Amino acid sequence: MHHFQYKQDELYCEDVPVRRIAEEIGTPCYIYSLATLRHHFLTFDSAFTDARHLTCYSAKANSNIAILKLFGSMGGGVDIVSGGELYRALKAQVPSNRIVYSGVGKTVEEIDFALREKILMFNIESTQELEQINRRAEAMNTRAAVSVRVNPDIDPNTHPYISTGMKRNKFGISTDIVMQAFEDAKNLKNVDMIGLDCHIGSQLTDVTPFVDALKRLRALIERLRQRGADIRYLDLGGGLGIVYDQEAPPQPHEYARALLRELQDINCTLIFEPGRVIVGNAGIFVTRVLYTKRTPVKNFVITDGGMNDLIRPSLYGSYHYVQPVARNLQETEIVDVVGPICESGDFLARDRDLPLSSQGDYLAVMSAGAYGFSMSSNYNSRRRAPEVLVTGGDYFVIRRRETWEDLVGSETLPDFLEGGLQ
């Protein structure tokens, strides 16, 4: 469910014509619907009302501080993977005791920052990291709450780049050494081992891998408790898929029902780290047709948005539905929608049957709210696009378009080049 619909033949975000935003703010741009964001967060969170739980929105999916602030004010926490995301979450006034920190490569600087801010817990991904956190906590005369991220060796049946819970993946600690890690942690004086965590992958369209992973974690919790561990939290990560094309992912209530069935009497606070399912279909990417070009083998629609703005098609071969902002139900043609970047891998859609496009038309690339702007870059020295939040009949720019000055603002010329080489 989302709030991007045609009224007559104009695409609207809630009550605002997408064309109006495109004309006033310029393209390319990202547009998010507040009503959709709220609806998705509530739908997910309320699916677990029967269980003690905390929904920690995964900031990496879309880390704009307005979005973080929205979910924080709806009672959510945040799942972070870097000091930068911690900084954002705090800027958005998310209480630090609702922040969980995953990631295989936390630096000392980042660990210290998180310790200072007293986050809810670290999800540790190696025994060396655990020792490092213990040392830093000791140096800072504090204690760190720790969950162990387990690698349950489950195939989530998704794109290999976003599968994270298989033995060959870099994430988590394999089940056979989790017991030992808890045993060894008894000698670490500044960590409290309070939970288990797992995240097996993203864009999962079936509940079975989630349930299989949960069963492994549940068995581990029982063994750990028998050995005296005080497991109070179980973090099941994110990963629930959305509809981009023809997928039929479980609805949050179906996902919740399948998990809760396995969680009877677990006596843990549950943590979830959903990203995509909350923001994915709450955002679109809007781009303008610069040129059309016909060749004997392909028809190209060349747009002002490219792989630096939305890299998912290029990086994962992902499908995003593309539709015109002004619908004209006439002739269609098979086209590649491509950007202006100097790479043949720069495409938004390939071999799509789209209504004939003309110069100046706007196209909406759907389901771009997750891993869209947050993965964008300045490649080809392109300014990153603005982000707009719509609510009812109003819209707000929550991130302005970068300027050319922004592009070079943090660069410096070394003295020896100031006057040119002698």
Return residues touching ligand LLP (CB under 6 A): 58, 60-61, 79, 102, 162, 199, 202-203, 237-240, 273-277, 312, 316, 370-371, 375
Cα radius of gyration rounded to whole Å, the chain = 23
Q: Which is nearer to ligand LLP, 102 or 391 (CB)?
A: 102
Report the distance separating Cα 96 and Cα 118, nearest Å. 6
Dig out the tokens for 315 from the structure.
């990086």
Q: Which is nearer to ligand LLP, 292 or 374 (CB)?
A: 374
Which residue carries 């300027």 as its tokens? 403
Shortest Å distance, C-beta 252 to ligand LLP: 11
Q: Which is nearer to ligand LLP, 251 or 292 (CB)?
A: 251
Beta-bridge mates of residue 11: 6
Shortest Å distance, C-beta 399 to ligand LLP: 19
Shortest Å distance, C-beta 370 to ligand LLP: 6
Examine the residue annotation and report whether 56 is marked as an active-site residue of this protein. no
> Per the residue annotation, which of 29, 56, 198, 342 is the catalytic one?
342
Q: Which is nearer to ligand LLP, 16 or 385 (CB)?
A: 385
Which residue carries 């939290």 as its tokens? 233
SS3 assignment, position 180: helix
Dig out the tokens for 274 from the structure.
């959903």
Strand pairing report for 269-272 and 387-391: unpaired
Q: Which is nearer to ligand LLP, 200 or 335 (CB)?
A: 200
Shortest Å distance, C-beta 377 to ligand LLP: 13
Amino acid found at 213 = A
Beta-bridge mates of residue 54: 271
Nearest CA to 36 out of 398, 372, 367 is that of: 367
Alpha-helical (H) ranges within 82-236 are: 83-91, 108-116, 127-139, 175-185, 208-226
Strand pairing report for 283-294 and 299-303: antiparallel
Shortest Å distance, C-beta 41 to ligand LLP: 12
Cis peptide before 28 (omega within 30 of 0): yes
Q: Which is nearer to ligand LLP, 12 or 244 (CB)?
A: 244
Q: Which is nearer to ligand LLP, 16 or 311 (CB)?
A: 311
Shortest Å distance, C-beta 325 to ligand LLP: 23
* Contact criterion met (CB below 8 Å) for 76 and 68: no
Count CB neighbours of 160 within 10 A: 10
Edge to edge, what strands does the sheet with 10-13 contain? 4-7, 10-13, 16-17
Shortest Å distance, C-beta 369 to ligand LLP: 11
Could you give the count of Cα atoms lying within 13 Å of 282 in the half-sphere of its Cβ?
A: 25
Q: Which H or E element spans position 38?
A: helix 34-46
Which residue carries 């926490």 as its tokens? 77
Q: Which is nearer to ligand LLP, 274 or 355 (CB)?
A: 274
The dihedral sign for the CA sequence 90, 40, 250, 219: positive
Phi, psi dihedral angles at 405 (to 5 degrees): -65, -40
Active site residues: 342
